[in-house]
Copies of this chain bind each other. A is one copy, B any other.
Amino acid sequence: MIILRSIADTRAALDSWRRRGQTIALVPTMGYLHEGHMSLVDEAKKRADRVVVSIYVNPTQFGPNEDLDKYPRDFARDEACCRARGVDAIFYPDNAVMYCPDHSCWVTEESLSQTMCGAARPGHFRGVTTVVLKLFNITRCDVAIFGRKDAQQALIICRMVRDLNVPVEIVVAPLVREPDGLAMSSRNKYLSDDERRRALSIANGLNQATALFAGGQRQAAALCDLVKTGIANAGGNIDYVVVMDRDSLRPLATVDRPAVLAVAAFFGKTRLIDNVFLD
């Protein structure tokens, strides 16, 4: 496994694979890898001859009052995880490699990004689409794997690829949970033991709502209320609990088409997101 720190080295290494006719899958991450990321690596290995994991805590997707500085980082552990899982290369740039001092070009998505995490975190998705397009252009990957925990992000990336004709196939892989149901996230590290226990109310609420939906409930408000009550009872601070059309991310009053029930809530200072599909 090779560690690539510069764009020139990355292009040279990946071009040499391409010249041998090998296809390349990219797994973009911010590091502090967990089993959710590793499931993306497994998916990548099925889809291409070579797997590149990018590890970059992208500053442009963090707001001024967010957790950029304290976002967890452990490159040695990430490197070991990738090596053990059969990753071919890690692209591990620093900020000077990724952004010129007079950087002035951005990719913006102006519809799907207006709601949910986009409404709560202004500029977040502009940072995401910009850095992801940069990573696609640097690696010229054939396929890229994203996790469904960030459902809105995955939808926005798919929209970017469609609208800008980006020649990359996007695969959205299933959400991976801890044994007790908590959606895996690098930010779970922030949780105290008590917060960790109470945060389970998110996954439990989504489970109960899924059961209610399976039982025939089609009113979005009833499904959301169930989730909200559980989180509130556990002392969580709700950012949003919404039922959205799964293509347009427009709110649904009645679940009469493929939908996503999505949550963002704080436990302590930690913002967690989770979602289930309603079919």
A107 at the interface (CB under 8 A from B): yes
The residue that A106 contacts in the complex, of B11, B103, B108, B162, with Cβ under 8 A, is B108
Minimum Cβ distance to chain B for residue A87 (Å): 21
Beta-carbon contacts of A100-135 to B below 8 Å, as 1s and 0s? 101111111111100000000000000001100110
A129 touches B108 (CB 8 A): no
A107 touches B105 (CB 8 A): yes
Minimum Cβ distance to chain B for residue A24 (Å): 13
Interface of A is mostly: mixed
Tell me the complex Cα distance, A111–B100, Å: 13
The residue that A104 contacts in the complex, of B11, B110, B134, with Cβ under 8 A, is B110
Minimum Cβ distance to chain B for residue A190 (Å): 32
**Inter-chain contacts of A104 with B (CB < 8 A):** 109-112, 159, 163
The residue that A159 contacts in the complex, of B105, B107, B134, B162, with Cβ under 8 A, is B105
How many copies make up the complex? Answer: 2
**Inter-chain contacts of A102 with B (CB < 8 A):** 111, 248
Among A65-73, A164-172, A175-183, A264-272, the one that faces the other chain is A164-172
A238 at the interface (CB under 8 A from B): no
Minimum Cβ distance to chain B for residue A142 (Å): 12
A48 at the interface (CB under 8 A from B): no
Q: Which 8 A-B pairs have the closest CB atoms?
A: A105-B163, A104-B111, A137-B165, A105-B160, A134-B165, A138-B165, A104-B110, A105-B109
Starting from the known contacts A7-B165, A105-B129, A106-B108, 5 additional A-B residue pairs (CB-CB under 8 Å) come to: A11-B167, A104-B163, A105-B107, A107-B107, A138-B165
7 A-B residue pairs with Cβ-Cβ distance under 8 Å, sorted by A, are A100-B162, A104-B109, A105-B129, A105-B159, A105-B163, A106-B108, A107-B107
